[in-house]
A and B are shown apart, each in its own frame.
Chain A
């Protein structure tokens, strides 16, 4: 008795801090958010005063009013994910198979952007893509860009910023799954007279799929909710749903709509991700 009881308790005791943390900082705020999302203004009340009326119509109105920004968020997030994958796959492949003694240095370089703040990096992109950076004048001289055309404040800048900012999240899981591939499977493929392309298509690529799934999720989910890139690099015509939530909350002081939009965004991401994982298969997610 005196020996078995602690054994039962220990796992729970160890889990307690985690549960307590999540309860306080995740479950409670979510409940609060859910309550807020169905409130309506108190008639004759002041700015920011709301009462509970179970107005589920908030969700419908919030979605209809902002479907354009919802659509834009998912389009931008999808594009950023595809570009990040296109850049990260060869990068991770090279680090995993071709880097030799430079492997660790290259890995550090992939993570290095995290040493500076996300915001600073985004602001740096504003400088790079801005009028006084080297890029715009160069492209203008090459007549690729018109004299009046700018890159900042366009969708191109927003997607480029997102691609860059989320690139490490794509690269690391890809690297992890590529690095785990047993080289003997690739040798075996060669022994069976497969050329490089076939080996990649039939052996390397399928074995790295868990990394692709993990990387795309880690990129797509935060990208869909991101509003920093659109704020700093975009224009009023490139606002994403995160910007709308921010403006509803802080500028208009319309907490219910902000809450309803947040829930709708969570639900949309959850549905998309579930469909994606179903399709891609979950076994061996990194």
Chain B
């Protein structure tokens, strides 16, 4: 049916309104705070597992949301179509922190409160290595074949048996267009005098250090420890010299809107949402020297029950339907991993169908690089250096 294929009225109203989620984003600072609170012990997925539910832990602002009705249009449609209740938790704030929160339960095989989680590539690799994930029953996910060829065989899950990409994330430079009218395309432009003390970089080590390494001419698919430590030292010096004011997760968006930050190493989707909410006051670009790309992955934890797993697979299958994927991408503005979604986007938001940031062309894709996977030893040692540079 034609009406079913087009955008749901709720989603349309959001798009029509120029994505008015100010209230949601204004609370972005609260995300970090909520994560602090979570770190104090509270776990998000409180709903009990039952036959007819699926519990999904995802990153904040990562699913189409209608601020007026406080609902997730595509998720509601999923429930209508399948009769499965979806409990959605926006409490995956940080890979390390989420891992820290649930690891003990995973080890003991106790329910962690989620049937679907959304870790970033390297963290998904860790879960798989440790046996904390379950292999999909691909019969339940016929749409799995819709994944983009470029994403179909990552090193940690070559046949996509346990993970499917949720969204792809580009990192690069974001800036306040009033303070940086010419934009920021190189590291030198980032560290320009007008941004002194007002630069925020990401807590995600592979993105921040990745962008710095690329600017230093290093191939991040083969980065050595010396090169990495060198880039960390560069960041540490910029922090102690007062150039970088903070190393943050999603909260950098709030610093940009409050004026406390004028330039960031940030994520593409966040920057586009910020820009559309602030009449083009912000912009994003992949650095001339290249940006990083990574993926967040839908994954079923080892502790999910049989029914939770089956429902989770149905949920994943649903979001791999090109029409649904397009609807989500129209809202989150991240790289859409689903084949055919671009054609669907033509129907609902033609101006987004040509966006290089949602559907990157080969030329754009060639400027994006994936940080190489690290051994457990490197993971600990490099994370330690990165944390120390932040004063921890």
Residues of A bordering B, CB below 8 Å: 41, 45-48, 69, 119-120, 122-123, 126-127, 130-132, 148, 150, 152-153, 227-228, 231-232, 235-239, 243-244, 246-254
Q: Is the Cβ of A236 less than 8 Å from the Cβ of B390? A: yes
Q: How far is the CA of A246 from the CA of B198 in the complex (A)?
A: 25
**Separation in Å of the A227 CB from the closest CB of chain B?**
8
Q: How far is the CA of A150 from the CA of B198 in the complex (A)?
A: 9
Q: Which of A46, A127, A228 contacts B36 (CB 8 A)?
A: A228
Q: How far is the CA of A233 from the CA of B137 in the complex (A)?
A: 47
Q: Is the Cβ of B383 less than 8 Å from the Cβ of A236? A: no
Interface residues on B, range: 35 or more
- Using Cβ atoms and an 8 Å threshold, which residues of chain B touch A250? 39, 94, 96-97, 99-100
Q: How far is the CA of A237 from the CA of B236 in the complex (A)?
A: 10
Sort A-B residue pairs by CB-CB distance and give the 3 closest, nearest first: A131-B259, A239-B391, A247-B392
Closest to A43 in B: B377
**Separation in Å of the A251 CB from the closest CB of chain B?**
5
Q: Is the Cβ of B32 less than 8 Å from the Cβ of A231? A: yes
- Using Cβ atoms and an 8 Å threshold, which residues of chain A touch B260? 130-131, 150, 152-153
Q: How far is the CA of A270 from the CA of B203 in the complex (A)?
A: 33
**Separation in Å of the A172 CB from the closest CB of chain B?**
23
User: B340 an interface residue at 8 Å Cβ cutoff?
Assistant: no
Q: A119-B36, A251-B383 are in contact. List 13 more A-B contacts (CB 8 A).
A: A47-B376, A119-B33, A122-B33, A130-B260, A231-B32, A232-B33, A237-B239, A237-B391, A247-B392, A248-B392, A250-B97, A250-B100, A253-B99
Contact of A127 with B246 at beta-carbon distance under 8 Å, contacts A119-B37, A251-B96 already known? no
**Separation in Å of the A265 CB from the closest CB of chain B?**
15
Q: How far is the CA of A69 from the CA of B96 in the complex (A)?
A: 22
Q: Is the Cβ of B244 less than 8 Å from the Cβ of A236? A: yes
A228, A249, A250 — which one has the most chain B CB atoms within 10 A of its CB? A250
Q: Can you list 17 A-B pairs, Cβ within 8 angstroms, ordered by A?
A: A123-B30, A131-B260, A148-B196, A150-B197, A150-B260, A236-B390, A246-B392, A250-B96, A250-B100, A251-B96, A251-B203, A251-B383, A251-B392, A252-B383, A252-B384, A253-B96, A254-B380
Please encode chain B, from 127 to 157, with 1 for each CB lying within 8 Å of some chain A CB and 0 for all others. 0011000000000000000000000000000
- Using Cβ atoms and an 8 Å threshold, which residues of chain B touch A249? 100
Q: Is the Cβ of B39 less than 8 Å from the Cβ of A153? A: no
Closest to B130 in A: A46
Q: Is the Cβ of A123 less than 8 Å from the Cβ of B380? A: no
Q: Is the Cβ of B29 less than 8 Å from the Cβ of A123? A: yes
Q: Is the Cβ of B387 less than 8 Å from the Cβ of A251? A: yes
- Using Cβ atoms and an 8 Å threshold, which residues of chain A touch B390? 236, 239, 247
User: B240 an interface residue at 8 Å Cβ cutoff?
Assistant: yes
- Using Cβ atoms and an 8 Å threshold, which residues of chain A touch B259? 130-132
User: B245 an interface residue at 8 Å Cβ cutoff?
Assistant: yes
User: B379 an interface residue at 8 Å Cβ cutoff?
Assistant: yes
**Separation in Å of the B324 CB from the closest CB of chain A?**
33
Q: Which of B39, B97, B129, B239 contacts A46 (CB 8 A)?
A: B129
Closest to B126 in A: A47
